[in-house]
Amino acid sequence: MRAGGCQAKIVKGSIAFAKCTMLQEGFQILRRSLVLDHALTSYITKYSITTTSAKWMKKMPDRPKPPPEEEFTEVFLHGSGPGGQKINKTSSAVQLKHLPTGLVLKVQEHRSRTQNRKLARQMLADRLDVMARGSESRVAVKGEVKRKKKSSATKKSKRKYRRLEEGKAGELEEAEDDDLVEEDSPEAAKGSDVLVELPDDFSFKMSDSKLYTLSPSTSLEVTTSNHPTTTPSLIFLHFWGGSCRTYSQVISHLPTHHSISISFRGWGHSTGPQDPSAYSIHTLASDIESLIPALKIADFILVGHSMGGKVAQLLAGRNIFGSRLKGLVLLAPAPPTPFQLPEQMREQQRTAFCTAESAEFVTRNVLTARHLADETLKMLVEDMVRGGRYAREAWPGYGMGEDVSGDARRIVVPVLVVGGEKDQVETVERLESEVVGMVKGVLVVVEGAGHLLPVEASEAVAGFIEGFVRKLVA
């Protein structure tokens, strides 16, 4: 009995041990399940928190559809640049011209004509969408998102380096005290840099502004730079929306040239009459003809940009100054031929510069192809918004429709035409077909630049002007 009892106890103990082991394993499985559930719940919670709900997001506009094939013409051209014979000896580049608006674009992104045709149609659709819907277009919305992301990253970077600079401020001050050298000492003279070597009698003068009164209602703001004895003088005429400040960066690269930058009536600080018909191309040209004698200059060259280019062509064709006018430089000029916008687009252009927001949008998305410094963008927007109502409305209303081609054909002075490779307003193709031949000029193109050449490529523009002047006086 005792042995049997022991065996029974052993069996019972084994069963109890087995139950205990199974129970422990069950708890371990349960614990793993709870851990997994917790991890999954945490992941779902985290994912739900960091993901923006669709109702909180601004809906991206639908991709615009290309216009009907009958609304545009298509031409296949030889490409240019790197890519070998496939680019340079085959007609793989595609050029589209939208007939209702006159918009022209050329695409050669790929070696394949088929791919370029597809891309060209989508690019045309995007640009027409921008012209029609403005800040509500898909391109504008995507651009605004990118701009905000870039602005946020820039602010973070500035804060980071500001903290670093503050931490090193004490060390820098000590280093400056140790390295301090008196200005009159030989060491200071030895360490100085000479940026520009000028004649002893040269007087460098910048931004001397003055208002010249032409009539009781009209005064023109004129900014002169550098010594007036350097000839020929350069007279700068700005684009629709600009002022005499438009050329400040270009003039800074021409320190040895007497430069005169003029604000047309109604722009900058210039004044004009309260008459909607008093801002035609012919009237603007007459203002310049009345002003030049008061400037007391000898020989001069006209430099005109966009609308200012059309005024310059009219001035050079009429040329009441004879041999004193030595040459003409046209920067992305409006052609001398008339051009009429559809009524809807004309109305949009009339209001393009009414607010800072719309002016900035047009500058970023239509007028430029390169990034602009914040200070430059601010200056452009200020000038656009400051423009008088009748001055803003005149160019899209009737200025671009004026025909000065008869005068342009009478130009006899040398002409240099500068275009922007990515200009959407006055394309290189349009300059070739409607400007260069008529004024008997020479065309050069700034790679990667848009319409606002004086601010997008100021150094390149100054270089072209410098070379043009050098040839004239040689």
pTM: 0.63
Can you list the domains of the chain with their CATH numbers?
60-160 (3.30.160.20), 208-473 (3.40.50.1820)
- Residue 25, pLDDT > 90, answer no
Cα separation, 314 vs 438, whole angstroms: 12
Note the helical H segments in 307-443: 307-318, 343-350, 356-362, 374-386, 389-394, 405-408, 428-431, 437-439
Residues 6+ apart with CB under 8 A from 259: 224, 225, 226, 233, 234, 236, 247, 251
320 pLDDT band, cuts 50/70/90, is very high
The pLDDT of residue 186 is 37
Q: What is the mean pLDDT of residues 200-210?
A: 54
pLDDT of residue 335: 96
Which pLDDT value is given to residue 360? 93
Q: List the structure tokens of 21.
A: 């082991």
What is the greatest pairwise CA distance in the chain? Answer: 143
Rounded mean pLDDT, 177-195:
37
- pLDDT for 159: 74
The total of other beta-carbon atoms located within 10 Å of residue 319's CB is 19
Across 1-153, where does the E strand assignment appear?
72-77, 93-98, 104-107
For residue 273, give both structure tokens.
């009459």
Q: What number of other Cβ atoms are within 10 A of residue 463's Cβ?
A: 16
pLDDT band at 350 (very low <50, low <70, confident <90, very high): confident
What does the pLDDT read at residue 98? 85
Q: For the segment 219-257, what is each residue's pLDDT rounded down to a tens digit?
A: 999 999 987 767 899 999 999 999 999 999 999 999 989
Q: What percent of the chain has pLDDT over 70?
A: 72
- Average pLDDT of 396-410? 94
- CA atoms of 430 and 419, how far apart (whole Å): 10
Q: What is the pLDDT of residue 60?
A: 81
Confidence of residue 1 (pLDDT cuts 50, 70, 90): very low
Query: Mean pLDDT, to the nearest integer, of 333-346?
Result: 81
| Average pLDDT rounded to a whole number, residues 385-405 | 94
Q: Are 390 and 275 in contact (CB under 8 A)?
A: yes
Q: pLDDT per residue over 285-307, tens digit each?
A: 999 999 999 998 999 999 999 99
Rg (CA), the chain: 34
Mean pLDDT along residues 119-125? 88
Lowest mean pLDDT among 40-49, 146-155, 441-450, 463-472: 40-49
